Amino acid sequence: MQNLSMTKDARLSNVRAICLIVGITSLAIFAWNILALALTADPRSVQWRVNFLEQIGSRSFALLFGFGLIMFYLTSHPTLNKRVGFVCLMTGIFFQMSCILIIHDTLTLQEQAIANIARQSQQVRTEIQENADGAEQEAEQAIQQITVQEGELQQRAKSDITRAGIVSLGNLFIPGIGLLLLGRIGLKSK
């Protein structure tokens, strides 16, 4: 019997060691990717912020998975588990707050794209009118086609940006909830 329990302890020890290795590796991959993205930092640019938060969100599972495995490894070290739990809690709060920023920046990016399409369409219409040279009917038809294409491009840009924003929002919000829950469990460690 004692031999069997030692085997179970050895197996648990191996499982915990595997969790630590995979957990640290997951966190290192996440940190490396975010560091690489941050090297081109331009936080004043809406496009950069949206892309940065989108990349964080798309890699957030590695962060959640890594923290979860490390917390499992630290179940017998309540003090360290509380510290990791606190980091999870703060990271979860960051993810939740980032959701507000991603909504704001997605709407701003959408407005910029629509305005840019409208500005370019107006330039093309102006060029057509200036170069009509007696072909007013053809110019009017071309302007009508440009107006239709402008509306289609604006609608496509709006839906594409909205779709990307919704995906990013989910990729930040859901793992953020998971991190908050991990943090809560970690802080309750005894």
For the chain, which residues make up each domain, given as ranges? 2-187
Per-residue pLDDT, 81: 93
The per-residue pLDDT for 4 is 59
Rounded mean pLDDT, 11-29: 94
What is the C-alpha to C-alpha distance for residues 71 and 82, in angstroms, rounded to an integer? 9
Rounded Cα distance, 105 and 26, in Å: 28
pLDDT of 171: 95
Nearest residue to 68 via CA among 79, 84, 55, 56: 84
pLDDT at res. 19: 96
Tens digits of residue pLDDT in 127-180: 888 877 777 878 888 889 989 999 999 999 999 999 999 999 999 999 999 999
How many other β-carbons are positioned within 10 Å of the β-carbon of residue 143?
Answer: 17
CA dihedral over 137, 143, 148, 149, signed as positive or negative: positive
Q: How far, in Å, CA of 153 to CA of 143, rounded?
A: 15
Q: pLDDT band for 2, please (50, 70, 90 cuts).
A: low
Residue with tokens 């998971």: 178
Using alpha carbons, list the distances in angstroms from residue 83 to 15, 19, 92, 168, 184: 22, 18, 14, 28, 11
pLDDT of residue 5: 62
Q: What is the pLDDT of residues 72-95, one digit of tens each?
A: 999 989 999 999 999 999 999 999
Cβ–Cβ < 8 Å for 96, 89 = no
- pLDDT, tens digit (0-9, with 9 covering 90-100), for 23-70: 999 999 999 999 998 888 888 899 999 999 999 999 999 999 999 999
CB 156 within 8 A of CB 45: no
* pTM (2 d.p.): 0.83
pLDDT at 90: 97
Query: In terms of DSSP H, where are the helices of the chain?
Result: 2-38, 46-58, 60-73, 78-130, 136-187
